[in-house]
Amino acid sequence: MKYILLNEEKILLKNNFLYLKNKYFCNIKIPKLIILYYKNKNLTIKSKYFDKKIENSFFKIINNLLIGIKNFWQIEIFVSGIGYKIYLENNKIFLNLGFSKPKFFQIPTFIKIDLKKEKIILKSVFKDKLGSFSFKILKSKKFDPYKKKGLYLEKKFLLKKSSKKKQ
């Protein structure tokens, strides 16, 4: 059994959904194996079959959501390469990365995008959905450390491998 203390968050449990109504309206689908109780600003998470794995994973999802409501989760994707261009149009992000046609991605409603000169800043309340969307964008052009071209995250470094054979 896990407990979460909710001070300022307004919460609603209805039709197997958990709604958080603070600055941003968020909803999470409650799995069938989880039972939620809300009493005196305490949210209790309990598994039907006393399975700790399910309790812990749902607890982490709610915790990440509460942190994301206070301040957005943010991922910065850097773009390096001559002639690479990024632009937004009609809720789509277009990436012109040297291919014959620009690649585009539909932006979900829960993600906000800021474009700077050489980077894409993704912000969202949901940490897991933000990570999966950023992974889709990163897959469109893999970073090449030799030519220094492509899309990459700042904290993730790709090492060059030596091709010498060891005897």
By mean pLDDT, which of 21-30, 49-58, 117-126, 138-147 is the weakest? 21-30
* Same domain flag for 84 and 149: yes
Decide if pLDDT at 1 tops 80. no
Mean pLDDT of 94-112: 91
Confidence grade of residue 107 (pLDDT, cut at 50, 70, 90): very high
Q: Say whether pLDDT at 106 is over 70.
A: yes
CA distance 148 to 157: 12
For residue 105, pLDDT beyond 80:
yes
Greater confidence, 154 or 8? 154
Host domain of residue 22: 2-70
- Average pLDDT over every residue of 76-99: 91
The last residue of a domain, from among 16, 44, 70: 70
77 and 149 belong to one structural domain: yes
Which of 38, 54, 70 corresponds to the end of one domain? 70
CATH number of residue 6's parent domain? 3.90.930.12
Give pLDDT, residue 12: 78
E strand residue ranges, 15-149: 17-21, 25-29, 34-39, 42-47, 73-80, 85-89, 92-96, 103-106, 111-115, 119-124
- 89 and 145 share one domain: yes
Quick one: pLDDT at residue 49? 82
pLDDT at 23 over 80: no
Taking a C-beta distance cutoff of 8 angstroms, is the pair 86, 115 a contact? yes
Mean per-residue pLDDT over the chain, rounded: 85
Choose the final residue of a domain: 16, 45, 70. Answer: 70
Q: Is the pLDDT of residue 158 over 70?
A: no
On whether residue 77 sits in a domain, the answer given is yes
* Number of domain units in the chain: 2
Q: Average pLDDT, stretch 26-36?
A: 85
Q: Is the torsion defined by CA of 29, 93, 136, 62 positive or negative?
A: negative
Whole-number pLDDT of residue 161: 67
- Let me know whether 49 and 77 are in one domain: no
Domain shared by 66 and 84, yes or no: no
Please state whether 37 falls in left (phi above 0), alpha (psi between -120 and 50) or beta.
Answer: beta
Query: Alpha-carbon dihedral of residues 60, 75, 132, 78, nearest 10 degrees?
Result: -160
pLDDT tens for 32-55 read: 888 888 888 888 888 888 888 888
Task: Tell me which residue has tokens 């399975």.
Answer: 51
